[in-house]
Amino acid sequence: MNLAIIGAGYVGLVTGACLADVGNRVVCVERNSERLDVLRHGGVPFFEPGLAELVAHNAQAGRLSFTDDLASAVHRAEIVFIAVGTPADEDGSADLGHVLEASAALGRTISRDMVVVIKSTVPVGTCHRVQAVIDQELRARGVDWRIAIASNPEFLKEGSAVDDFQRPDRIVIGTEDPEALRLMAALYAPYNRNRDRLIHTDVRSAEFTKYASNVMLATRISLMNELARIAEKVGADIEAVRHGTGADPRIGHHFLYAGVGYGGSCFPKDIQALARLAADHGESTPLLHSVQRVNEEQKRVLATKIRQHLGTSLKGRCIALWGLAFKPNTDDIREAPSIALVRELLADGATVRAYDPAAAENARRAIDHPGLTIVPTAWDACEGADVLAVVTEWREFKSPDFHGLAALLKCRAIFDGRNLYDPDYVESCGLAYYGIGRGGRRVRSGSAETDAYAVMTGYW
């Protein structure tokens, strides 16, 4: 098919590259001149495993191209995707300015019947607003093209987006138009062969499904983090609890990891947007507000543990930090727990030596502070540091040389924000170990002070 995608950001570019890779002709429309220049020269403006190769291959094959000219992009298009950003507005609601602007521009340039698909995460009712905006522009031009609207929410995880698109667990298509459904089913047929993943709903239900999915996942994370806090107080190990709880098939093992909270561009924004949408319709959402509150509190847990170990004042202390991206395999630092931790440590008078395989440049732009040094390797971060905080579970952090760390760190302590390590083994290497919810354990580092229970150190 001939496809146009408005917006070559994260969702738009992954969608365009993957659809081109199965033989479609895709034109991505991008207004940002810097991003467009990167794409036209064969680059990708953000880090996502496998995406750069996919973009380069399909651009070279002539199936994927980039432009800032909307009219030329949609001239032959059978389906147009709108995949622009919907950032949080001041009141927490989703800002639909880019979506409605793209819709109006489409209405001014459409020259044939087509299907318009909303790929952006939008509040319920947005597709009908898009239809109204396009119809208004068509009437103003005195033309009567048949435009069908569909909602096709994305379920891509940063760090595995290409694989998620090519091997989807579901393909949600919301439309009341039979022709739009037929075209969309044909478009997704290459991803729907060994079992039927296509879920057809009405438009509003498709729009709501995206929000419901993200809120459900965020709720599991905050619940596990709240349970981890209780586990520390009562002397239970949240990792053992996770295995025992996840064995129940009604619960399952996914998204049951305690840590330092979630980040990224989706969960925080979508929870706020759904709460705002509910308020606009007279519904209160105490659970949604609690999920976000617990998450913000969880981002401070490591700083609290570090202060308890080193003393109330961190002035003159140096903290090594592994991981700046909000999750592994991405360079995205939006709402990242690491950024909140760095800012809190700097505010307390500490200096920070940080390392991340992909997010270093984004972190430099986000935090311009003389107390933050971003270094080229994980071991460079530990040079001259008192303790180490691990915030992002990058693969290269999963099995470090603990004996080497014990020799390098002045105060010989690891603060494991993702529960990556076996506390017994870490402690046997001469390091004090502080995890998340790892209750009922002594911190064995060879001194009476750090061999005490949580009454002394805040760590059970």
Return the active site residues. Answer: 266
Torsion of CA 366, 370, 374, 379, to 10 degrees: -150
Q: Tell me the β-bridge partners of 121.
A: none
Give the containing element (helix H, strand E) for 372.
strand 372-374
Greatest CA span in the chain, whole angstroms? 84
Residue type at 225 in one-letter notation = N
Whether residue 165 contacts residue 18, with contact meaning beta carbons closer than 8 Å, is answered with yes
DSSP β-ladder status, 147-151 and 387-390: unpaired
Q: Which two tokens stand for residue 257?
A: 């990891």
228 forms beta bridges with: none
**Partner residues linked to 205 by β-bridges:** none
- All residues at 6 or more sequence positions from 373 whose CB lies less than 8 Å from its CB, including other chains: 351, 352, 353, 354
Residue 199's identity, in one-letter code, is I
In the block, tokens 């997704």 appear at 188
**Are 417 and 336 within 8 A, CB to CB?**
no
Of 262, 270, 332, the residue nearest 296 (C-alpha): 262
Q: Using CA atoms, how far apart are residues 338 and 308, in angstroms rounded to an integer? A: 19
Instruction: Report the half-sphere exposure of 218 (CA within 13 A, side-chain side).
Output: 29
Which segments within 44-144 are labelled E, that is strand? 64-67, 79-82, 114-118
Q: How many CB atoms lie within 10 A of CB 233?
A: 11
- 355 within 8 A of 71, measured Cβ to Cβ: no
